[in-house]
Amino acid sequence: EVQLLESGGGLVQPGGSLRLSCVDSGFTFSSYVMAWVRQAPGKGLEWVSSITSGGDYTFYPDSVKGRFTVSRDNSQNTLYLQLSSLRAEDTATYYCARRGVGVAFDYWGPGALVTVSS
Amino acid sequence: EIVLTQSPATLSLSPGERATLSCRASQSVGSQLIWYQQKPGQAPRLLIYDASTRATGIPARFSGSGSGTDFTLTIGGLEPEDFATYYCQQRLRWPITFGGGTKVEIK
Kindly report the nearest CA distance between residue B79 and chain A, in angstroms: 22
Q: What is the DSSP string of B73-91?
A: EEEES--GGG-SEEEEEE-
Say how far residue A59 (Cα) sits from the centre of its chain: 12
Interface residues of chain B, partner chain A, Cβ below 8 Å: 32, 34, 36, 38, 42-46, 49-50, 53, 55-56, 87, 89, 91, 94-101
Give the chain A residue whose CA is nearest to the CA of B51: A102
> Is A42 in the B-facing interface, judged by CB distances under 8 Å?
no
Q: What is the pLDDT of residue A51?
A: 98
Q: How crowded is residue A96: how many other Cβ atoms within 10 Å of its Cβ?
A: 30
Segment holding B49, helix H or strand E: strand B45-49
Going by their DSSP bridges, the two strands B102-106 and B10-13 should be labelled as parallel
Cα separation of the two ends of chain B: 35
Backbone angles phi, psi at A14, to 5 degrees: -55, 135
Answer whether B96 sits within 8 Å of A47, measured CB to CB.
yes
Q: For B20-74, write each residue's pLDDT tens digit.
A: 999 999 999 999 999 999 999 999 999 999 999 999 999 999 999 999 999 999 9
Bond preceding residue B80 cis, omega within 30 of 0: no
List Cβ neighbours of A42 (8 Å cut-off, separation of 6 or more): none
Q: What is the pLDDT of residue B103?
A: 98
Give the whole-number percent of chain A exceeding pLDDT 70: 100
Of the candidates B23, B29, B8, the residue with the CA atom closest to the CA atom of residue B92: B29
For residue B99, name the pLDDT band (cuts at 50, 70, 90).
very high
Taking contacts as CB-CB distances below 8 angstroms, the residues of chain A near B99 are 44
Of the candidates A35, A18, A25, the residue with the CA atom closest to the CA atom of residue A4: A25
Integer Cα distance of B73 and A25 in angstroms? 31
Answer whether B97 sits within 8 Å of A47, measured CB to CB.
yes
Q: What is the pLDDT of residue B90?
A: 97
- Do residues B25 and B90 touch, judged by C-beta distance below 8 A? yes
Q: What is the mean pLDDT of residues B77-103?
A: 97
Answer whether A110 sits within 8 Å of B49, measured CB to CB.
no
Q: What is the pLDDT of residue A97?
A: 98
Q: For A19-57, write each residue's pLDDT tens digit.
A: 999 999 999 999 999 999 999 999 999 999 999 999 999
Q: How many residues belong to chain A?
A: 118
